[in-house]
Every structure is written in structure tokens, then in C-alpha cells.
Structure 1
Amino acid sequence: MTASTDSSLFTRYVTNRHRLPLRTRIIATYGAVVLLHLLAAGLLLSALAPGVRPLSIGIVVAAYVAGLKHSYDWDHISAIDNSTRKLVADGMSPASVGFAFSLGHSLVVTLAGIMVVGGAQFISGAFEEGNPVNHVLGLIGAAVSGFYLLILGLYNGGTATRLIRRLRRHESTAEAGHTHHLSDENWGLVSRILRKPISKIERPRDIFVIGFLFGLGFDTATTVGLLVLTVSASLAGVPPLALIGLPIAFTAAMTLCDTTNGLGMMKLYSTATEKSERRLRFNAVITSISALSALFISIITLGGFFNELFSLTDPVTTWLAEIDLGNAGLALVALFVAVWLWFYFSGRTTRGEQA
């Protein structure tokens, strides 16, 4: 088989991947995550060659844990959840939204790490507070994440409002002894306005670019970039490949968590779109949570963006710029799990009483 044939097969796979069975796509996605782990391990093991000073286990663990931690930042969770909601609403079962977003996001870290190890000294300045490069890239990352989440939040907010109104109409007609169709086909005013920009998100791979632009704020790159700089400066004799293994380990950890989150939300939203009164109520609740989380984080992000861009000193944007959400993403995940468990067990209780 020639190289051109291999390339053609790969192109066809990427183009038609969404048509493969869901099980196959899930296996392929997690297979890619495993390959990232193996690549990171292989690069890090190169530091164990005879006569070479090895990397500290603590440094390797720190890089991996940094990836795990960052995957649960609120902007990650909100971007993945709301993007998944949009694709599921389009009739898809997107298995790799989280993976694509995380891979694009962490690509910034990997590229910065490679350039640092390769001796590109100007990269070190990009991590310093107040540096023009840091300032510009930070503004780009904040603008993209803020406006993207704002658009998705408004879009899903319009959907949630429509679902709540439909649910109320259904309940009122049911009380009157009539039936009401529970489909989700009509577009509300907000959805109509935002339909065109949102239509650009057609496949999970489209989220890759969004993830990359999110990462330009150097919120992820700072963690591992400074780590790579420290290691390259302090551990003479450590091979460059081992140093590059640090951002790859960061990427492997982040893709593992984001992939799992994306698949969980895909299952959650797919379940919610089944046509029944109970499923409609469930759909309205989780869509409302997704929309509110996106709008909440977009307001904070854009407040900080405008404060930095125009050097504002007003109390509102200054306060927004100083907000640190910390591990709020974990709270959002916990909220989704709690809602799902509540509906699941309440449904079983209802069925038990009917039996």
C-alpha cells in the first residue's frame, strides 16, 4: 500500500468519522488518549538512559496533575458542555468534543514547551506578567472564550426558555385532557439570530480551533511553560526529548478528563432529548444549567477582557477581572451528576409506585 493510499484512507476516515458506530468512535477517541500517554511515557523514559541525569518523579507528577486540574476549570467544562448540547440538538452523537477541545487547548502548551527546549528565548518572556506578548495573547484568549461562551449561552438559553414554555403548555393541555406534541423543532427569536454563527460548529473537530484559541491566554501554558523553563535551567544533562515529555504528559492528562466529560454530557443530552414529559423536564433543567454557566463565565471573562483592553478602573470590571473561580468546574460537574441522579431515582420511584 502506497503512502498516497494511506493518506487517502486517513482523509476518508477523518471526513466520515461521524458516520461510524458510536462504540467505534469512542474506542478510537480513547485509543488516541492512550497513545498520548504512551508518547509521554516514552519521551520521559529517554531521561533514564545510562549517563543521563533523570527527571525528578515529582516534576513529572506535577505536570500530569496540572493537566488533570486544568481540565476542570469552569471555562473547559462550560465550553465542552454547551458545544455538546448544540451538536446533540443537531441530531449527532459527538464522541470527541472534549478530546478535540482539550487537544487544541493543550497544543499551545506543547508548542511553547518545544520552543523553550529548542532555545527560543523569546518564549520565556511570553510567560512574564506585563510582557507585550503575554498581554496580546491573553486578550485574544479572553476575547475568544468570552464571546464564544456568550453566543453558546444565549443560544442554549433560548432553547431552554422554549423548552420550559413547551413543558408548561403540555402540562396545561394535559390537565384539560388534550395531548400536546413535545418536539423541539421550532426556533425561538434568540436561536434564529444566533443560528448562522452557531451553524459553523458542525463536527467535534471544529471545537479543536476553539480550544486552541482559548489556550492563547496562557492560563494553561503558564503552568507547564514555567515548569519546562525551570527544568531546562536547573537539570543540566536531561535530554530535550524528556523535557518535551512534560507538556505531552500535561496534554495526556487533560485529554483524558475532557474526553470523559464530553462523553458524559453527550450521554446526558442524548437521554434528555427523548420525547416524553419527564425527559422534556430533564432537558429543560440541564439546558438551563449549561446556558447559565456559559453566560456566567462569559460575563466574568469579558469583564476582565474589557478591563484589560481599555485599562478601566471602574469597580465592576475591576471586580470581574479579579474573580478566581478556582475549582468551580468541579462544582458544575457535581451539579450535573446530582441532577441526573435525582431524575434517575425519582423515575425509578415513580415506576415502582405505578407497579
Structure 2
Amino acid sequence: MENLPSDWLSLLILTFVLGMKHGFDADHLATIDGLTRYNLRCQPAMARYCGTLFSLGHGAVVIAIALGVSAVAGQWDVPDWFGTLGSLISIAFLVALGSLNLAAVLRAGPDEIVQPVGLKGRLLGNLRHASHPVLVALVGALFALSFDTLSQAAFFALTATRFGGWEHALLLAVLFMLGMLLTDGINGLWIARLIARADQVALVASRVMGLVVSGISLLVAAFGAAKMLSPAIDAWSEGKELVFGFSLVALIVLSFIAALRLTRRPAAT
């Protein structure tokens, strides 16, 4: 779990940044990729909004959990193992997703577009082929029913109670959703554009994003493990949450810009 700042303004900014980072989760990207590809065949007009709809459903659950936890925060003492277990689960998922996406890039043939690889999407069955806006949002909501997301929402709510009541928890949850909405919404638009063309530029762009997804997942997992194993690294990182968050989001934004610029180039004839 992230160490959150003790002042309100920094906490607001970091929560939005963490939402952007969460939207870049490989499971999100893989599921939005699948939903967009399916809807380009049956609902082309809606396909580009799959990332936005997914995030709205996901964010609705985060908001509900944050409000619920803030309501009982005064009667609930968080066990010491809660944050540690959340961190271990997050690191394990990041390593798995980073490795799977790196393998996908390396295995892809020279004429194949690299598709993001996820873990949770395989559990959704026919919902992966949702073609109604409400069902796409439902897929996002189901994704939020995981220990990683639920513990993060609860952590935000418990932190917010230091500054006030449920209104503060609601604001943090909404900011988290808006950050996630920005990343996933842009990702949905990019995937729709990528699928619409099948030239060499699209092949390169998909590999750029695949390597970035893999690299960020493994990097965040390695840093999280280092903080858990080394008190010196944990102490050094204390108070630098905003710096790390902005650095990570800057890398995400630059990768999106590079991929979008590639897919704007004229198709090869």
C-alpha cells in the first residue's frame, strides 16, 4: 500500500495521480482491449467509449466502498497485517502481469499486433463480450471486487477520516475515479484507433505500449518489494510519494503520446 501524505492538498493530488496509475493496470488495459475489439464489430459507435464506461463502473464501486468504510471508521481498528497483505498481493499481481505482457511482446510475430494480457478478465466469461453501455460499466464494477482495489479504497477512506467525515472520503474516491477515467478513457480511444489500421506503424505502436505496460508493472513491483525488505529504502522513500507518482504518470503519458502519434501517421499504401 502507498504511504499517503499527511496534508490535505498533497493527498488530493496524489489520489488523482494514483487513479491514473491504477487505470494503467495491465488487467484494465487487457479487458478494455477485448471490449473495444468486440464492440468494433457489433457496436462501432460505442467501441471507443469502452474505456470510459469501464472506469465509471469501476469508480462507482470504489466510491461505495470508501463511503461505507468512512461510516464505520470510528469503530474499526485496522489490523497491522492489512497493509502488508495488500502490498504482497499487489506485488504478486504486478510481477505476473509484467511477465505475461513481456512474454506477449516477445512471442508476437512480425505481422501481429500485440494485445495486452490480463488475469481477471478470464473470469468474466460472456461479460467480456458486453455490447451494452450498462454491461460494460458492470464489467468495470466487477473488476473493483478484488482485494487490491477494495483495500486501496478502504485505505483512502481511513486516511480521509483524519481530516473529516464521509465528505472527505467521497472527494478522495471521486478524484481516484477521475484519474482512472482519464487513463482508461484515452486507452479506449487509442485501442479503437490502433485496431482500425493494420500497417507497420500499428505493429510498432502496440509493441511500444506492451513494453511500457510490462516495464512499469515490474518496476513498481520491484520498488514495492524493496521497501518491504529494506527499512533504509522505505525510510528514504518517505515523503516522496508525489515525486514518485508524478514520475510514473509522466512515463505513462509520454508512452500514450508516442503511441497516439504513431497511429496518427498515414497508413502505408
Shared fold (TM-score greater than 0.5)?
yes
**Is the alpha carbon distance of 1:111 and 1:259 closer, same or farther for their aligned partners in structure 2, counting shifts above 3 Å?**
same
After superposition, what is the alpha-carbon deviation per residue over 1:13-33, rounded to whole angstroms, capped at 9, x for unaligned?
Answer: xxxxxxxxxxxxxxxxxxxxx
Aligned counterpart, 2:252: 332
Match of 1:140 among 85, 89, 96: 89
Structure 2 CA distance for partners of 1:151 and 1:226, relative to 1, 3 Å: same
Where do 5+ consecutive residues of structure 1 fail to align? 1-57, 165-183, 233-237, 274-279, 314-322
- Alignment equivalent of 2:183, drawn from 246, 258, 263: 258
Q: Which residue of 1 aligns with 2:63?
A: 110
* 1:72 to 1:108, Cα distance in 2 relative to 1, 3 A: same
- Length, aligned pairs only: 236
CA distance, structure 1, for counterparts of residue 33 and residue 140 of structure 2: 16
Amino acid across the alignment from 1:225: A
One of 174, 196, 201 as aligned partner of 1:249: 174
Q: 1:230 aligns with which of 159, 162, 182?
A: 162
Percent identity, aligned pairs only? Answer: 13
Q: List alignment gaps of at least 5 residues for structure 2.
A: 1-6, 131-135, 231-240
Contact 1:100 1:205 in 2 (8 A): yes
Deviations along 1:302-346, one digit per CA (max 9) or x if unpaired, are 5467x58xx868xxxxxxxxx99533233333233234435645x
- 1:106 to 1:259, Cα distance in 2 relative to 1, 3 A: same
Q: Greater Rg, structure 1 or structure 2?
A: 1
Q: 1:110 to 1:85 in 2, by over 3 A?
A: closer
Query: Structure 1 residue 69: deviation in Å?
Result: 1.9
TM-score if structure 1 supplies the norm length? 0.49
Which residues of 2 match residues 64-213 of structure 1 at below 5 A? 65-73=13-21, 76=24, 78-89=26-37, 92=41, 94-99=47-52, 102-103=55-56, 106=59, 109-121=62-74, 125=78, 130-131=80-81, 133-155=82-104, 157-158=106-107, 160-163=108-111, 197=122, 200=125, 201-203=128-130, 204=136, 208=140, 211-212=143-144
Query: Kindly tell me: are residues 260 and 97 of structure 1, through their superposed partners in 2, closer, same or farther at Cα, counting changes over 3 Å?
Result: same
How big is each residue's C-alpha offset from its partner over 1:217-256, in whole Å with a ceiling of 9 and x where there is no partner? 6785477335421123xxxxx6x4x345324432552354
1:150-203 Cα distance to aligned partner (Å, 9 max, x none): 434534553x43426xxxxxxxxxxxxxxxxxxx8xxx9x99xx9x95995444
After TM superposition, which residue ranges in structure 1, 4 or more long, deviate above 6 angstroms? none
CA distance in structure 2 between the partners assigned to 1:299 and 1:87 by the alignment: 25
* Letter of the structure 1 residue corresponding to residue 210 of structure 2: A
CA gap of 1:114–1:210, structure 2 versus 1, over 3 A, is closer
Deviation at 1:284, TM superposition (A): 1.0
TM-score normalised over the length of structure 2: 0.61
| Change beyond 3 A, Cα 1:211–1:287 | same
Root mean square deviation, CA, Å: 4.7
Does the 8 A contact of 2:98 with 2:218 survive in 1?
no
